[in-house]
A and B are shown apart, each in its own frame.
Chain A
């Protein structure tokens, strides 16, 4: 309906999402003084997974096979309503920010069910942690989006992100800065990044996301990796769209600003991961609740 421009944001996401992971890994390697894997390594990994055949355990049922497919498809659906900064999403309707939250939750639900279906104790533990942290992170996410809706006076993601301009930033500087901090924490939490979860750990006891997918292989694992990249892209674009208030109207300029912003975000995540150690599990809820508090304070600040 809005033609060519509205298809830009899903296409960017589908093509470039795994590149973010590559950029993060490259940054971490650079900080550690290594050369690191090539930037396109995540694409190669996914392609390799897709070429393999799948192996299913005898004890697993259809729930296990359904998990990765549902997860990937809900993230593809989420791409249709998540705008890339000023670039509109293909679909936009009042309340789509709640639909986005619901879609992300549904994807997580599918993965958690698949993990429980294997009957492995490690995977059950990972699922339990994932759900525990998600129960704290989702209210924070809704609260952050509610603040943005209140600031811009819109109830749909595309108008909200088109409404975040430089004058709005100047008018509501403390509030928007607080929301940006919340979203940064949520990007780390939802994508199992460093202070919450270590994506490179080899110890099942300390894993969260990685331990849930231990039994998946072949195309299923490829779907999960690709879906994780898409999730990072979607949440990252919500953060970058807030922090880069460039709304020139020329979509190539806005798009360029967003892509540069996403690259900077990936480097920043790599830096955070290099500089911070993983929190002890008991401290993670405190971290997430603290992030939610920032948004709550922001909300009260704009009510005043």
Chain B
């Protein structure tokens, strides 16, 4: 189990760095899909002792939504907005990658501080969850393009999901599925918002929204 988790950890870190350093929106969406499937598998690995329908359902729901449904929705939006690459983010790609290294160090430190309070949580997964949350927040504030901000939101959601799976053992299934539903509605609403922004401003760069200030 531990070797599997380490592999998930390493691949997850790679996908985050790919998201931080890639300018093509299409490639970013595919990396996000990969990340969703990867971390959707975590419940199956962690709850190996009770490999029951509950973990299975949770994993299946996650993979279906974050691995397939959201990326498909985002790809449709990208095609409609005809927006292929983030041209000039607020923070350059090289600086974003350097931020990633800094965030990774920070998350390792935070994890080692938190570990005594959460003895049952595997270290690598705790580390991934904090790193995903940091990267997600960073993507939201550092990118000009509304699609990349949705991607950042979903990375953040992945982090919260992993954190929940490994730390809270007895969450009712209803709550976990409810969180998934929330994320689904959230992305749906964001999709509609992006569609309207694109129609109104002819672009999905959020900079343009400052024109609303009048």
Contacts and interface: CB of A to CB of B under 8 A. Distances in A.
Contact of B13 (A173, A285, A289, A297): A297
Interface string B99-142: 01100110010000000000000011001000000000000000
A174 interface: yes
B127 A297 contact: no
A297 B124 contact: no
Contact of B101 (A173, A177, A293): A293
Nearest to B18: A290
A290 B17 contact: yes
Given A296-B101, A297-B17, A297-B104, A289 B10 contact: no
B93 interface: yes
Given A173-B6, A297-B13, A304-B108, 16 more contacts: A173-B7, A174-B6, A174-B7, A174-B10, A175-B10, A289-B94, A289-B98, A294-B14, A296-B101, A296-B104, A297-B14, A300-B101, A300-B105, A301-B6, A301-B13, A303-B108
Interface of A: 173-175, 177-178, 285-286, 289-290, 293-294, 296-297, 300-301, 303-304
A277 to B, nearest CB: 15
Contact of A301 (B3, B9, B93, B97): B9
B100 to A, nearest CB: 7
Contacts of B101: 293, 296-297, 300
B93 A286 contact: yes
A217 to B, nearest CB: 38
8 contacts: A173-B7, A175-B10, A296-B101, A297-B14, A300-B101, A301-B9, A303-B108, A304-B123
A177 B7 CA distance: 11
A300 B108 contact: yes
B170 to A, nearest CB: 27
B171 to A, nearest CB: 26
B21 interface: yes
B17 A293 contact: yes
Interface in B64-106: 93-94, 97-98, 100-101, 104-105
B3 to A, nearest CB: 8
Nearest to A172: B6
Contacts of A296: 101, 104
A173 B14 CA distance: 14
A285 B108 CA distance: 27
Given A173-B7, A297-B104, A286 B94 contact: yes
Given A289-B98, A293-B101, A296-B101, A301 B21 contact: no
A135 to B, nearest CB: 13
Interface string B6-32: 110110011001000100000000000
B14 to A, nearest CB: 7
A74 to B, nearest CB: 30
Interface string B171-214: 00000000000000000000000000000000000000000000
